[in-house]
């Protein structure tokens, strides 16, 4: 007897993405591809100075441009659009989508044009004339805390937006007992101290932001398409600010061309498009150009840290002090104030540090606001701690791997509560370290490095350990709630439609989630469709950020799938006259365990559920179940990254020779997609270390306003990444998956910088701040004035 064809189990397999066929043929619909009859275009007039009082706005030139429908100044917009809301509990100054009195960063909108096409809109915006009384620009965040050279917001004297906060606290600082930390430093054999800068970056999704707002007066309803990571949150805020109910707003995230945290925010342009569409009764489109993206999409990082690490001579860390000053730019955006608090939270990294004192001050400056950028607060923490561990290793003359190993939280210590209040779910840090050392050939690499040095080459090695907080997160930690939602419907024909609130922007959820449901229900993956990104279809959701789509969204899908399966089993049990507990779902059949001839096809049972001629007792017709999954905790993925780097002695140019990454994201659904996430994360983390930096002049003018000035890594900047994974499941969700989106960005940056410092160790250097600009490294090699062999970075 021929065996029935067996459907392969898909979870854990390298399944090709089902998103790709449309994307490789140019058939995806991104927001700029949306077209509606009668649609008009917006363009913004933006401030070209960093700080100043608006004296006058003359829009007559714009109104004269052919094709212009309307022009609004900030003052006019303020008549019908309130201040921009934020999503954190911290105090916040008034922030308008379009400024009416004072501008506080280059790029801040001061007027908006509505016109027939984008060429006319741009012409008109350029024809608006604005006069300012300039104010001094606040650029240096540490100097800004003295109130010099100016105060941005009158209610925030000395420009202190938040803090100083002690560790483990949110909006309400409480007194901190410093006895333990003082004792740790008193008992220490060795203390290493260093000021470090984790500099400002631009997230730079290749698809710029964009929005189409379409208010239909006849329906009294708004549809808004946006390049967003979280359409449900967008809907909530758009409804609130335009005076509509959430039932009247439908938010759609079409194909989204990358986000990296920057598309969590609800931006002023989105509020303006929605409010003007409602006011004018016209569909309106706005799409950012690249220079606007550099000026007006949030930036990331930008934290100065003063770190002191106290240890015994044997390498045991006794205490850590970390004083943070975060430059958050001109205003609070959605999560701005909360991001640097994550740097405090993660200050223990993978180590059992018995005493930690972290403090944080956030500062307003005349720059673009910061907010979540891939990693969001964790890369900063890991960078500061890992650089400090390297300084300690160097001070003690220990192998950087060894000093780390001595301080690991052990596997039997989980769940582990750190001194900063994080509760780590699970981990095996020594395993990740060992795999990385083996994969890289650590001892061999050291020999190669030493041999290269003997030839006069400047080669260095760097190693970093990281743990991050993912699967964001319990509702206590997010103003929107931290759950995720899914609904799974078995249709009449046995096909499956499922929704997820985890709205993807390149993560491949349509594939991974279909893999999971196909396995769970024993049907072909081709029979499963995943719907997302449309609040008209997906009833509820939070979104994709904080590496949460699998750990939280996947878990919600799994719960909803389990519920529909349980109901379907009841229908099948009635049809088969069997006990529902004896049924197995596989190969598109629902069969009685041990009696494969007693079976019904999945489709037949589905059809019966929608026309149950004899409705089983206690059942309603139909097969559609939903679930909200609320995680009990965050997840804490971890890993070890190793870099080998060479610096050209004559030019100072660094070149990455090897990049080894061992990451533990818990259970993996699709390793192909996971590797892609790690590749991309590594590229951004390496980019920060080597070439990316948002820079401002002393008068607050951005110096990096295009791809000609802001260096985004190209293919030729990287060696082939060498990946491996360990698997330590999380107990926090039923899948055991931890999340992986941010891992590469967090682990890679510190090991690159440590490798550069190692390469320069012959010049007496302990630390070099990022980015590793050739000029900066050349000065270390040749001395500040070009004399050989001098200089401290």
Q: Would you say 31 or 244 has its CB closer to other proteins?
A: 31
Tokens at 203, concatenated = 């997230």
Beta bridge partners of 136: none
Q: Would you say 424 or 721 has its CB closer to other proteins?
A: 721
For other proteins, the binding residues in 673-732 under the rule CB under 8 A are 673, 675-677, 679-684, 706-708, 712, 714-716, 718, 720-721
Regarding 204 and contact with other proteins (CB under 8 A), the answer is yes
Burial class (CB in 10 A: 0-12, 13-18, 19+), 190: middle
Regarding 545 and contact with other proteins (CB under 8 A), the answer is no
- Specify the 3-state DSSP secondary structure of 637: coil
Regarding 172 and contact with other proteins (CB under 8 A), the answer is no
Tokens 């001595």 found at? 406
Minimum separation from the CB atom of position 493 to other proteins (A):
25
Regarding 26 and contact with other proteins (CB under 8 A), the answer is yes
Bridge pairing between strands 528-531 and 583-586? unpaired
Q: Please give the DSSP secondary-structure letter assigned to residue 696.
A: B
Whether the link from the prior residue into 377 is cis, omega within 30° of 0, is no
**For residue 237, how many other CB atoms are within 10 A of its CB?**
23
Q: What phi and psi values does residue 668 have, to the nearest 5 degrees?
A: -110, 135
Question: x/- contact string, 119-138, with other proteins (CB under 8 A)?
Answer: x-------------------
Regarding 208 and contact with other proteins (CB under 8 A), the answer is yes
Among 8, 9, 12, 29, which residue interacts with other proteins (rule: CB under 8 A)? Answer: 29
Tokens 């360990």 found at? 726
Question: x/- contact string, 225-264, with other proteins (CB under 8 A)?
Answer: ------------------------------xxxx-x----
* Total residues found in the chain within this entry: 793
Minimum separation from the CB atom of position 671 to other proteins (A):
10
Strand order of the β-sheet with 356-364 is: 160-166, 356-364, 317-329, 300-311, 190-201
Nearest by Cα to 205 from 244, 158, 260? 260
Regarding 449 and contact with other proteins (CB under 8 A), the answer is no
- DSSP per residue, 663-721: EE-BS-S-HHHHHHHHHHHHHHHHHHHHT----B-TTS-BS--STTTS----GGG----
Torsion of the alpha carbons at 784, 790, 792 and 793, rounded to the nearest 10 = 50
Minimum separation from the CB atom of position 66 to other proteins (A):
12
Query: How far apart, in whole angstroms, are the C-alpha atoms of residue 450 and residue 458?
Result: 10
Regarding 206 and contact with other proteins (CB under 8 A), the answer is yes
Bridge pairing between strands 160-166 and 356-364? antiparallel
Query: How far apart, in whole angstroms, are the C-alpha atoms of residue 204 and residue 223?
Result: 26
Asked if 656 and 719 count as a contact pair (C-beta separation under 8 A), the reply is yes
Query: How far apart, in whole angstroms, are the C-alpha atoms of residue 207 and residue 184?
Result: 49
For other proteins, the binding residues in 570-629 under the rule CB under 8 A are none
Tokens 């994307």 found at? 23
Q: Would you say 258 or 524 has its CB closer to other proteins?
A: 258
Regarding 186 and contact with other proteins (CB under 8 A), the answer is no
Q: Would you say 19 or 270 has its CB closer to other proteins?
A: 19
Q: Would you say 269 or 675 has its CB closer to other proteins?
A: 675
Nearest by Cα to 353 from 411, 409, 297, 422? 409
Q: Would you say 17 or 782 has its CB closer to other proteins?
A: 17
Among 109, 166, 231, 506, which residue interacts with other proteins (rule: CB under 8 A)? Answer: 506
Q: Would you say 167 or 544 has its CB closer to other proteins?
A: 544
- Helices (H), ranges, 145-228: 179-187
Q: Would you say 23 or 793 has its CB closer to other proteins?
A: 23
Among 9, 16, 195, 539, which residue interacts with other proteins (rule: CB under 8 A)? Answer: 16
- Specify the 3-state DSSP secondary structure of 628: strand
Q: Select the span of 400-408, 630-638, 667-675, 765-773 touching other proteins (CB under 8 A).
A: 667-675
Minimum separation from the CB atom of position 302 to other proteins (A):
19
Tokens 């965050």 found at? 634
Q: Would you say 208 or 637 has its CB closer to other proteins?
A: 208
Q: Would you say 361 or 544 has its CB closer to other proteins?
A: 544
Minimum separation from the CB atom of position 630 to other proteins (A):
29
Q: Would you say 418 or 544 has its CB closer to other proteins?
A: 544
Regarding 454 and contact with other proteins (CB under 8 A), the answer is no
Minimum separation from the CB atom of position 207 to other proteins (A):
4
Nearest by Cα to 202 from 302, 305, 78, 70? 302
Q: Would you say 211 or 249 has its CB closer to other proteins?
A: 211
Q: Would you say 223 or 677 has its CB closer to other proteins?
A: 677
Among 7, 11, 13, 28, which residue interacts with other proteins (rule: CB under 8 A)? Answer: 28
Tokens at 2, concatenated = 């021929």
Regarding 23 and contact with other proteins (CB under 8 A), the answer is yes
Regarding 30 and contact with other proteins (CB under 8 A), the answer is yes
- Specify the 3-state DSSP secondary structure of 24: helix
What is the size of the binding site for other proteins (CB under 8 A)?
57
> E strands within 569-616?
583-586, 589-592, 595-601
Asked if 207 and 257 count as a contact pair (C-beta separation under 8 A), the reply is yes
Among 24, 175, 454, 613, which residue interacts with other proteins (rule: CB under 8 A)? Answer: 24
Integer-rounded Cα Rg, in Å, for the chain is 28
SS3 content of the chain, % helix, strand, coil (to 5): 30, 25, 45
Element (H, E) at 270: helix 268-280
Asked if 529 and 221 count as a contact pair (C-beta separation under 8 A), the reply is no
Q: Would you say 524 or 680 has its CB closer to other proteins?
A: 680
Q: Select the span of 169-177, 504-512, 519-527, 568-576 touching other proteins (CB under 8 A).
A: 504-512
For other proteins, the binding residues in 757-776 under the rule CB under 8 A are none
Regarding 66 and contact with other proteins (CB under 8 A), the answer is no
Asked if 58 and 159 count as a contact pair (C-beta separation under 8 A), the reply is no
Q: Would you say 260 or 629 has its CB closer to other proteins?
A: 260
Regarding 745 and contact with other proteins (CB under 8 A), the answer is no
Question: x/- contact string, 285-324, with other proteins (CB under 8 A)?
Answer: ----xxx---------------------------------
Whether the link from the prior residue into 672 is cis, omega within 30° of 0, is no
Beta bridge partners of 643: 462, 659
Asked if 363 and 326 count as a contact pair (C-beta separation under 8 A), the reply is yes
Asked if 227 and 31 count as a contact pair (C-beta separation under 8 A), the reply is yes
Regarding 87 and contact with other proteins (CB under 8 A), the answer is no
Q: Would you say 52 or 741 has its CB closer to other proteins?
A: 741
Q: Would you say 199 or 505 has its CB closer to other proteins?
A: 505
Q: Would you say 205 or 500 has its CB closer to other proteins?
A: 205
**How many angstroms separate the most distant Cα atoms in the chain?**
93
Minimum separation from the CB atom of position 525 to other proteins (A):
16
Minimum separation from the CB atom of position 464 to other proteins (A):
18
Asked if 77 and 112 count as a contact pair (C-beta separation under 8 A), the reply is yes
Among 25, 172, 444, 476, which residue interacts with other proteins (rule: CB under 8 A)? Answer: 25
Among 10, 19, 550, 704, which residue interacts with other proteins (rule: CB under 8 A)? Answer: 19
Site for other proteins, rule CB under 8 A: 16-17, 19-21, 23-30, 32-33, 35, 117, 119, 204-208, 255-258, 260, 289-291, 505-508, 672-673, 675-677, 679-684, 706-708, 712, 714-716, 718, 720-721, 744
């Amino acid at each position: 007897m021929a065996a029935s064809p067996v459907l392969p189990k898909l979870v854990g397999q390298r399944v090709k993405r089902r998103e790709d066929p449309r994307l490789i043929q140019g058939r995806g619909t991104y927001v700029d591809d949306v077209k509606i009859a009668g649609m008009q275009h917006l363009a913004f007039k933006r401030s070209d100075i960093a700080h100043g009082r608006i004296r006058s706005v003359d829009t007559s030139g714009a109104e004269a441009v052919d094709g212009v429908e309307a022009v609004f100044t900030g003052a006019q917009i303020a008549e019908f659009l309130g201040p921009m809301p934020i999503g954190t509990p911290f105090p916040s100054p008034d922030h308008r989508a379009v400024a009416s009195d004072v501008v506080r960063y280059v790029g801040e909108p001061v007027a908006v044009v509505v016109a027939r096409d984008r060429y006319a809109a741009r012409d008109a915006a350029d024809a608006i004339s604005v006069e300012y009384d300039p104010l001094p620009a606040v650029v240096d965040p540490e100097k800004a805390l003295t109130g010099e050279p100016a105060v941005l917001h009158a209610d925030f004297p000395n420009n202190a937006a938040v803090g100083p906060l002690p560790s483990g606290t949110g909006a309400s600082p409480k007194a901190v007992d410093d006895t333990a930390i003082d004792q740790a430093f008193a008992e220490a054999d060795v203390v290493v101290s260093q000021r470090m800068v984790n500099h400002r970056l631009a997230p730079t999704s290749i698809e710029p932001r964009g929005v189409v707002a379409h208010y239909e007066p006849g329906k009294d309803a708004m549809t808004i398409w946006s390049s967003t990571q979280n359409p449900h949150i967008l809907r909530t805020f758009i409804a609130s600010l335009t005076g509509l109910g959430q039932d009247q707003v439908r938010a759609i995230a079409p194909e989204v061309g990358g986000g990296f945290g920057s598309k969590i925010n609800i931006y002023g342009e989105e509020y303006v498009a929605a409010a003007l569409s409602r006011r004018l009764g016209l569909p309106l489109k706005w799409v950012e150009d690249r220079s606007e993206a550099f000026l007006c999409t949030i930036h990331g990082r930008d934290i100065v840290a003063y770190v002191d690490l106290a240890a015994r001579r044997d390498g045991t860390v006794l205490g850590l002090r970390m004083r943070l000053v975060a430059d958050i730019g001109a205003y609070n955006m959605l999560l701005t104030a909360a991001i640097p608090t994550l740097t405090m939270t993660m200050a223990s990294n993978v180590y059992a540090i018995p005493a930690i004192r972290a403090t944080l001050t956030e500062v307003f400056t005349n720059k673009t606001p910061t907010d979540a950028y891939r990693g969001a607060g964790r890369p900063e923490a890991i960078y500061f701690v890992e650089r400090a561990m390297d300084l300690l290793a160097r001070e003690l003359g220990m192998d950087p791997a060894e000093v780390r190993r001595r301080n690991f939280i052990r596997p039997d210590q989980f769940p582990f509560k750190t001194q900063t209040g994080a509760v780590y779910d699970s981990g095996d840090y020594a395993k990740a370290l060992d795999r990385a050392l083996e994969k890289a050939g650590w001892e061999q690499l050291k020999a190669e490095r030493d041999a290269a040095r003997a030839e006069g080459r400047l080669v260095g090695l760097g190693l970093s350990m990281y743990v991050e907080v993912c699967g964001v997160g319990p509702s206590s930690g997010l103003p929107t709630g931290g759950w995720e939602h899914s609904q799974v419907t078995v249709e009449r024909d046995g096909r499956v439609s499922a929704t997820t609130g985890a709205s993807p922007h390149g993560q491949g959820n349509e594939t991974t989630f279909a893999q999971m449901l196909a396995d769970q229900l024993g049907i072909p993956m081709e029979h499963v469709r995943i719907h997302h990104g449309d609040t008209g279809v997906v009833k509820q959701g939070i979104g994709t950020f904080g590496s949460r789509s699998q750990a939280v969204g996947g878990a919600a899908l799994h719960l909803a799938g389990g519920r529909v399966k349980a109901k379907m089993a009841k229908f099948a049990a009635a049809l088969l006259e069997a006990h529902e507990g004896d049924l197995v779902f596989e190969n598109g059949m629902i069969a009685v365990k041990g009696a494969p001839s007693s079976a019904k096809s999945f489709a037949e049972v589905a059809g019966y559920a929608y026309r149950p001629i004899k409705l089983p007792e206690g059942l309603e017709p139909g097969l559609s179940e939903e679930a909200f999954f609320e995680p009990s905790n965050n997840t804490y993925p971890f890993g070890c990254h190793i870099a080998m780097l060479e610096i050209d002695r004559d030019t100072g140019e660094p070149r990455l020779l090897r990049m080894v990454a061992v990451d533990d994201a818990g259970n993996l659904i699709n390793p192909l997609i996971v590797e892609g996430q790690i590749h991309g994360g590594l590229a951004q983390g390496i980019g920060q270390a080597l070439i990316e930096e948002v820079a401002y002049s002393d008068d607050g003018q951005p110096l990096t306003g295009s791809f000609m000035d802001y260096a985004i890594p190209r293919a030729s900047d990287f060696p082939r990444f060498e990946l491996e994974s360990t698997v330590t499941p999380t107990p926090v969700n039923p899948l055991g998956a931890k999340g992986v989106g941010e891992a590469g960005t967090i682990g890679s940056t510190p090991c690159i910088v440590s490798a550069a410092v190692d390469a320069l160790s012959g010049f007496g250097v302990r630390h070099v701040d990022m980015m590793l600009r050739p000029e900066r490294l050349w000065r270390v090699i040749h001395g500040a004035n070009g004399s050989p062999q001098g200089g401290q970075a």
